[in-house]
Each structure stands twice: as C-alpha cells, then as structure tokens.
Amino acid sequence: MMEKRPPRMAKRTHGCHSGRGTASTAAGVWMSIIYESRSHAIRSCLFHVQNDVGVGRDEEDYHKALIMCFRQNEIPFVSKQPHPLMLFGEEAHRLFPDFSVWQSITLELKAVPRRLGAPEFVQLFDYLKCRGDSLGLLVNMGLDRVFIDRVVRHPEQTRLTESWRYWSGQIDGKSREIGLAVRDVLREIFRQHETGYGTEVVSKLIHFGLRWGIAANFGKSHAEITGMRRR
C-alpha cells in the first residue's frame, strides 16, 4: 500500500500552569531529543493506521487501530484515563485525554473532514495542563492524509489581582453575600489550579464551586420551587 507523505508540522507555543519556572537550556535540549525520537515512533503508527484503516472512518475505528499499533510496537500508553479536577476537596470535573504516551506526551485524536480549529486546541491545552505534560499532538484522521499539530506547552508564572473599588459602598445585604461567595470560589479555583484552562473547564469549576441549584416539586395540586445551595 502506498505510504502517506508526512504532513506539515505546526509547532505552537502556549503558556499555562504546571508547577513553577522553566527548564534549563541543557534540560530543554535533552527533552527535545527524547521527544523527537518518541514523536517519530508515534507518527509512524499514525501513518500505518491510516494506511490500514483508510479514510472516512469513525474516530473510534482509528482509536482502536492505534491501540493495536502501540501494543505491537511496544509503545507504552494509557487510553482515556480519567483525570479528576478537585475543588474544596471534592471532584468537580473529569478530563479524558485520548492517549498519554510514555506518560509524557498527550495525544488527542480526531476524525473530522476539516482542519482543526480553536476548540480542539483548547481541549488539548486543557489535557496538557491537567497532566503537566510539555508536548501534545493534535491529530486529525478525517482528511485525505494525517494532519498532526505539535503543541509545546511552556509553564509560566501566574498571579491573581483583585480590585473591588466598584463595590465599595454600592452593594450590601444579599447582593453582597452572593458576590462574596462568587469571589471565594474564584479564589479557590486559582489557589488549586491557577491559570491555563479553557472557558468550558473553568465554567464547570465555577458551577461546582457555587453549588447553587433549584429543586422543583410539581405535585397533583401544588407546585413548589426552592432555591438550594448544596453543603
């Protein structure tokens, strides 16, 4: 079967949280060499899978074939391992990266008939942040050849700034109580996760942290709606 030509590789840089500081130059060179060797092995599997499976298949078909290729080539991997995000000592949300390869490279697999855009890159950045990996591969098997975007994540220092001048003397009572509750949740999210997650993940953390909801009971002759805050 004809071998697919290697795709153009796009190297993207993005700053988000994983520990503190950056690697030294020597360590960076060492990591670059290691990652290049491992990336080459992964790319070889991806080309092999599309040659064998063909184009126009579902993502799950490519996922299963890639699992088989990794196993045949003795490439260590974990597939769809749950990564819980904690808040206030409880699990607030879970992320499920498609693959973690060598426990150091996150691979997210897609099979859509278009070039991948911002939502898919944000998803990969979320996975890189929660795992603490420095290299991610965003792969699309849905076109006429394999497209691979190589995404490098550099940890950066983060900080939180607050300004309450617009609140001073303007709100009180219940409004202030609600505002302070929202503030406390945002502070806790930053304390535990700092910055780097996309809007969807942050929204889920906020929603979990606020723990507000509505209970509704529509009986035979009476309807009751109650605002609730879980403890």
Q: Give CA separation, 129 vs 118, 135, 164, 171, 207, in Å.
A: 16, 10, 30, 37, 20
> Quick check: 8 pLDDT over 50?
no
State the pLDDT at residue 20.
32
| Confidence grade of residue 13 (pLDDT, cut at 50, 70, 90) | very low
Query: What distance in Å separates the CA atoms of residue 99 and residue 67, rounded to the nearest whole number?
Result: 9
State the pLDDT at residue 31.
56
Q: How does pLDDT run across 157-193, given as a tens digit for each residue?
A: 889 999 888 888 888 888 888 888 889 999 999 999 9
Measured N-to-C along each axis, helices 199-210 and 118-131 cross at an angle, to the nearest 10 degrees, of 60
Which residues of the chain does CATH 3.40.1350 include?
A: 10-155
Which of 40-44, 52-56, 70-74, 210-214 is predicted with the least confidence, judged by mean pLDDT?
A: 210-214
State the pLDDT at residue 6.
35
Query: What distance in Å separates the CA atoms of residue 188 and residue 93, rounded to the nearest whole number?
Result: 15
| Selection from 40, 49, 180 nearest residue 109 by Cα | 49
| Confidence grade of residue 34 (pLDDT, cut at 50, 70, 90) | low
State the pLDDT at residue 17.
32
Provide the whole-model pTM: 0.78
Asked if residues 228 and 214 have their Cβ atoms less than 8 Å apart, the reply is yes
Domain at 10-155: CATH code: 3.40.1350
